[in-house]
Amino acid sequence: MTDNSTDLIITIAKWTAGVLAAGFIAQFGKRFADWIIERRRRKRVDHDKAHPSQLPQAAQETAVQATIVKNEKKALKALAKLEKKRMKKAKQ
């Protein structure tokens, strides 16, 4: 073999080793990330089971009042829209 072909083989071997190493590192990183995500998910589920969230009565009442206000606002907006349409028709 000549010097050129030996250099070519060495370059190919280096690239092959580099690609294999990058693939290994990428796969390891992916598995590690999946493991971390699963661990956090398990902790969250365990925490939720141990400490179920119960809204106090005052918070529930506030939520109901907010819903009522929101529905009233929607109704007023719908009325305003209808009035605007009536005014537009009256002008024509």
Q: Tell me: the pLDDT tens digits for 13-70?
A: 999 999 999 999 999 999 999 999 999 999 888 877 777 666 566 777 888 889 999 9
Query: At residue 41, what are phi and psi to the nearest 5 degrees?
Result: -65, -45
pTM across the whole model: 0.42
Q: What is the rounded average pLDDT of the residues 77-90?
A: 91
Helix (H, G, I), strand (E, B) or coil at 59: helix
Say how far apart CA 68 and CA 44 lie, in whole Å. Answer: 33
